[in-house]
């Protein structure tokens, strides 16, 4: 949810140096745990099923914590608080949807995806789309759409990893990128998603603990939320207005894109396949929502708290909004807490990168061959090889200009949302959705997103305040899906196999 | 609530959101009704898609209509209050749990209240309305049958499930 990055505001290209013995020690301990978990997981990864969906053997708690971890990128710890600092409470509309998205995902997708994995050996989101519509074209198109989004996400995550590792160890941005991607690659290639899941459990726990501690520190340092609010209201009441400095349209647009769009995020939806016992889905939304709230406490508290502390002179004015979290950590909090948070940021970016590496490898070795009527002989071997290639490509791309990397990263969330939500989320719950409707909506989402983002990036066109390419692409894709499905409604029944129909009826 | 009604509601709410965005392209800037279309369209769209997911076959959503309706109302009233209430926040304003009133409506009402309602409703109705052990066994039986078919198909690669 927090990977959507407005250009120039969210991509952190530099952090102040945090190279201190305590920070380095915690950082080394963090990486040691990651390596240990990875070695354990690599020994248990024997098949493509293990590599891509952890053999459908993950328990509820592990899956929940892993899902929380992968839902939150480094943006929640660095860029997000910086955005609140810059625009006020309007930035909260990015994360407020967490109150409904997990249970919405549970009702709309979790059961159906998990039961699809019972009737067929599905391991990817395009697999589900292909099975639903009996269409290799739909499967291939959705795979291409996901791959385009992954290219951008991987580059921004590689860059973010480099920034954090450089801040912790002082090794330079280039080396930071290669070290971060190297470690992520090692456990992704060796242990696949199984290593990813259990590293996510560790990383998610670390992020939650760090977030809660920072939240409590900010409240204590500020004399309570009421005191913090009064400090801000005395000098900048707009900051704490319901929209902050954003227009209502802009804030509501954030809410729409990050709520409805959550149903199309492959790094989250893909995890439904992995739950060992589908009956445990009962508690999944409650646990995941509570976990997400804990992790997002830092997002709110640092953004609002640092604003108050700068206004009353306890912190020096910030050189840029993105310095909100580092400034607080390095000037006010105990150093061990700072170390935990910096490691938490590394954790968040590595968690996201691992998920996307795994999904990207599955697309190249599984979905695209199927779309062309072929099958790769040894998916596990080729999955590992492709994982290495994607990681290297991401690390090389991350060395390019920050603006280019930012551009590649910003449309990932919106691209996934506009191409996948109608065909997958609505399509799995509506037997009247047709193959033509799915293909049209995926295509519309892809074309509209890329066209609008590129024209905006090249400044050929400027959106009015509050309107984003992601939002326009998502509503376009929805409307195309409904209209084309209605126009081709006579074909609907023929595109559902009996086993898929059973899953949709339950 | 029938599936057809739910789909129609989803379509109309998405169209309303689209109209809100379209209004923003006006030369004189976004009209005052544009954010209202989103403020009402978003909760209805989210509610409709959740209802769509909760529906089983041709049966309705039973007791779930209460938590769904409540959350749609909370979101709509929350967004509406944020739009409609005048800005009157200052250093001596009364605070609601540490935040000025409109901010408190957004953070606590929109951001936290639904957490108390929906996940608990989901858990309480799970076996009856979402997935039971009997449902799971029906699905697994189909899965086992499919595996046998797949083994037969492996002996004859010309057979395939996909049609295009």
pLDDT at A466: 76
Provide, rounded to the nearest whole percent, the portion of chain B with pLDDT above 90. 70
Q: How many residues are given for chain A?
A: 506
- Give the whole-angstrom CA distance, residue B104 versus residue A300: 13
- Chain A CB contacts of B110 under 8 Å are 96, 99
- Chain B CB contacts of A243 under 8 Å are 82
Cβ neighbour number for residue A46 with a 10 Å cutoff: 10
Q: How confident is the model at residue A220 (pLDDT cuts 50, 70, 90)?
A: very high
- Helix-strand-coil percent breakdown of chain A, rounded to 5? 80, 0, 20
The DSSP string of A388-445 is HHHHHHHHHHHTS-HHHHHHHHHTHHHHHHHHHIIIIIIGGG-TT--HHHHHHHHHHH
- Residue A171 pLDDT > 80: yes
Instruction: Record the tokens describing residue A100, joined without a space.
Output: 């409904």
**Maximum mean pLDDT: which of A147-151, B60-64, B80-84:** B80-84
- Give the whole-angstrom CA distance, residue A317 versus residue A327: 10
Instruction: Record the tokens describing residue A278, joined without a space.
Output: 């589908």
Name the minimum distance, in Å, from the CA of A107 to any CA of chain B.
Answer: 5
Residue of A nearest to B162 (CA): A134
- Give the whole-angstrom CA distance, residue A326 versus residue B110: 29
Q: How confident is the model at residue A5 (pLDDT cuts 50, 70, 90)?
A: very low
Beta-carbon separation of B139 and A115 below 8 A: yes
Q: How confident is the model at residue A71 (pLDDT cuts 50, 70, 90)?
A: confident
Beta-carbon separation of A289 and B99 below 8 A: no
Nearest to B123 among A95, A240, A282 (CB): A282
Nearest to B21 among A240, A263, A472 (CB): A472
Q: How confident is the model at residue A8 (pLDDT cuts 50, 70, 90)?
A: very low
pLDDT at A405: 61
Of residues A16 and A319, more confidently modeled: A319
- Give the whole-angstrom CA distance, residue A390 versus residue A354: 11
In sequence order, which residues have a C-beta less than 8 Å from that of residue B40 and are 6 or more positions away?
Answer: B13, B16, B76, B79, B80
In angstroms, how far is the first alpha carbon of chain B from the final one?
A: 35
**Residue A333 DSSP symbol:** S
Q: How far is CA A393 from CA A159, A258, B127, in A?
A: 12, 28, 46
Nearest to B14 among A89, A228, A479 (CB): A479
Cβ neighbour number for residue A230 with a 10 Å cutoff: 20
Name the minimum distance, in Å, from the CA of A96 to any CA of chain B.
Answer: 5
Residue of A nearest to B164 (CA): A135
Q: pLDDT by residue (tens digit) across B37-46?
A: 999 999 999 9
Provide, rounded to the nearest whole percent, the portion of chain A with pLDDT above 90. 50
Using alpha carbons only, how large is chain A's radius of gyration in Å?
22
Beta-carbon separation of A92 and B107 below 8 A: yes
Scanning the structure block, which residue is given the tokens 């209509």? B65
Best mutation target, B24, B37, B55, to test chain A (most A CBs within 10 A) = B24
pLDDT at A407: 65
ipTM confidence: 0.93
Residue of B nearest to A104 (CA): B50
Q: pLDDT by residue (tens digit) across A14-32?
A: 567 777 788 888 888 888 8
- Give the whole-angstrom CA distance, residue B31 versus residue B25: 9
Name the minimum distance, in Å, from the CA of A100 to any CA of chain B.
Answer: 6
Name the minimum distance, in Å, from the CA of B70 to any CA of chain A.
Answer: 12
Burial B9-25 (b: 16+ CB within 10 A, else e): bbbebbbbbbebbebbe
- Chain B CB contacts of A506 under 8 Å are 56, 131, 135, 138-139
**Residue B26 DSSP symbol:** S
Closest to A309 measured CA to CA, from A212, A241, A244, A235: A235
Name the minimum distance, in Å, from the CA of B99 to any CA of chain A.
Answer: 6
Phi, psi dihedral angles at B96 (to 5 degrees): -105, 110
Residue of B nearest to A119 (CA): B143
pLDDT at A1: 45
Q: pLDDT by residue (tens digit) across A285-297?
A: 999 999 999 999 9
């Amino acid at each position: 949810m927090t990977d959507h990055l407005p250009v120039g505001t969210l991509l952190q290209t530099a952090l102040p140096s945090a190279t201190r013995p305590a920070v380095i020690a915690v950082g080394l301990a963090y990486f040691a745990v990651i390596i240990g978990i990875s070695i354990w997981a690599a020994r248990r990864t024997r098949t493509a099923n293990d590599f891509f969906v952890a053999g459908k053997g993950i328990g509820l708690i592990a899956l929940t914590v892993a899902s929380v971890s992968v839902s939150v990128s480094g943006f929640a710890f660095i860029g997000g608080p910086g955005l609140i600092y810059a625009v006020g409470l309007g930035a909260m509309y990015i994360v407020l949807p967490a109150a409904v998205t997990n249970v919405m995902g549970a009702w709309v997708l979790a059961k159906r995806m998990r039961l699809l994995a019972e009737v067929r050996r599905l391991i990817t989101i395009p697999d589900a789309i292909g099975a639903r519509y009996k269409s290799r074209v739909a499967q291939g198109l959705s795979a291409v759409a996901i791959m385009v989004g992954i290219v951008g996400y991987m580059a921004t995550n590689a860059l973010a990893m480099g920034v954090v590792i450089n801040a912790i160890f002082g090794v330079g941005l280039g080396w930071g990128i290669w070290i971060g991607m190297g470690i992520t690659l090692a456990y992704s290639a060796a242990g696949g998603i199984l290593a990813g899941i259990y590293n996510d459990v560790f990383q998610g726990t670390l992020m939650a603990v760090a977030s809660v501690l920072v939240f409590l520190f900010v409240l204590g340092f500020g004399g309570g939320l009421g005191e913090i609010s009064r400090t801000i209201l005395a000098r900048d009441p707009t900051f704490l207005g319901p929209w902050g400095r954003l227009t209502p349209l802009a804030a509501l647009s954030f809410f729409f894109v990050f709520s409805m769009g959550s149903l199309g995020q492959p790094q989250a939806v893909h995890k439904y396949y992995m739950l060992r016992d589908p009956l445990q889905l009962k508690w999944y939304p409650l646990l995941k929502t509570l976990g997400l709230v804990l992790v997002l406490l830092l997002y709110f508290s640092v953004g609002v708290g640092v604003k108050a502390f700068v206004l009353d002179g306890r912190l020096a004015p910030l050189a840029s909004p993105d310095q909100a979290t580092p400034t607080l950590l390095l000037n006010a909090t105990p150093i061990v807490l700072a170390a935990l948070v910096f490691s938490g940021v590394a954790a968040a970016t590595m968690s996201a990168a691992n998920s996307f590496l795994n999904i990207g490898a599955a697309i190249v070795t599984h979905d695209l061959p199927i779309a062309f009527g072929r099958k790769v002989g040894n998916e596990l071997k080729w999955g590992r090889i492709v994982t290495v290639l994607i990681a290297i490509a991401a690390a090389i791309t991350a060395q390019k200009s920050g603006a280019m990397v930012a551009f590649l990263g910003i449309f990932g969330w919106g691209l996934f949302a506009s191409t996948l939500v109608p065909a997958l989320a609505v399509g799995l719950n509506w037997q009247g959705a047709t193959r033509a409707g799915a293909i049209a909506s995926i295509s519309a989402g892809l074309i509209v997103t890329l066209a609008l983002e590129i024209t905006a990036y090249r400044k050929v066109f400027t959106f009015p305040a509050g309107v984003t390419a992601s939002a326009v692409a998502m509503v376009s894709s929805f409307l195309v899906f409904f209209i084309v499905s209605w126009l081709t409604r006579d074909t609907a029944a023929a595109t559902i196999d009996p086993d898929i129909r059973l899953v949709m009826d339950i | 609530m029938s599936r057809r009604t739910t789909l129609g509601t989803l379509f109309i709410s998405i169209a309303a959101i689209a109209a809100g965005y379209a209004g923003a392209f006006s030369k004189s800037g976004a009209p005052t009704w544009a954010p209202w279309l989103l403020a009402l369209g978003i909760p209805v769209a989210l509610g409709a898609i959740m209802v769509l997911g909760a529906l089983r076959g041709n049966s309705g959503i039973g007791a779930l209509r209460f938590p769904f309706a409540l959350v749609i109302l909370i979101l709509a009233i929350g967004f509406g209050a944020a739009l409609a209430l005048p800005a009157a926040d200052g250093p001596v304003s009364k605070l609601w749990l540490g935040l000025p009133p409109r901010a408190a409506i957004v953070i606590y009402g929109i951001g936290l209240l639904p957490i108390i309602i929906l996940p608990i409703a989901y858990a309480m109705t799970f076996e009856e309305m979402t997935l039971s052990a009997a449902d799971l066994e029906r699905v697994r039986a189909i899965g086992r049958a499919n595996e046998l078919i797949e083994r037969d198909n492996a002996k004859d690669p010309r057979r395939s499930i996909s049609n295009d």
